[in-house]
Amino acid sequence: MASIDLASSDRYQRRRLSAGTTLCREGDFGDTMYLVTEGNLQISKRLIEGAEKVIASLGVGQYAGELSLLTGAQRSATMRATVDTEVIEIDQEAFMQILQEQPQTGLELMQQMARRIHDTTEALILTQLATALAQRGPHRLP
C-alpha cells in the first residue's frame, strides 16, 4: 500500500496529538491534508450551535482534509483525535510530489474520496426520506 511509503518517510511533517486534541475546526482555513499513521481521528459536523454529529472515524492509512487541500475551501468538518494519534501533514507542494513519485497513493486518495462521496450521498438520501416520512404523518387507509 502506497500510504505505508509515506508513513515510513522522514520527508513529511508529522504531528502528534494527545487524545481529545482538535486538529482543526469546521470553518477554519485549510490548505493541508492529513494521513493517519497511528491512532484515530473523529470527523464531526456542526448541526446547530453547540451540537455536533460524528460523521466518520478514520484510522491508520486513511486521509482527512483532502477537500481543503484540493479546493482551497474552508474545512468542512472538525477533526479530533480520539486516542493518542500521529498524522502526516501534507501541503500542496508535498501532495504534487507524492502524485509524481507515488501515483498509487493518488489513486488510493481518489478511491477513499469516492467511497466517502457515495456514503455521504446514501446517508443524505436516507435522512431526506426519513424527514419526508415524518412530515407526512401517519398513513391512514380508507
pLDDT digits (tens, 9 = 90+) for 107-130: 888 888 788 778 778 877 877 887
> Where does the pLDDT of residue 72 fall: very low under 50, low under 70, confident under 90, or very high at 90 and above?
confident
Report the alpha-carbon distance of residue 86 to residue 84 in Å, rounded.
7
- Interval 19-64: pLDDT, tens: 999 999 999 998 999 999 999 999 998 887 778 888 889 999 888 9
Share above pLDDT 90 across residues of the chain, in percent, rounded to a whole number? 34
Q: Cα-atom radius of gyration of the chain, to the nearest Å?
A: 18
Judged by DSSP in three states, 17 sits in strand
**Percent of the chain predicted with pLDDT > 70:** 89
Asked whether the predicted pLDDT for residue 3 surpasses 70, the reply is: no
Q: Of 67, 116, 66, nearest to 88 (Cα)? A: 66
CB atoms within 10 A of CB 94: 18
The three grid cell numbers given for residue 47, joined into one nine-digit string = 448541526
Strand 13-17 versus strand 85-91 pairing type:
antiparallel
Q: Please tell me the predicted confidence (pLDDT) of residue 137.
A: 66
Query: What pLDDT score was predicted for residue 22?
Result: 96
Q: What is the pLDDT of residue 1?
A: 40
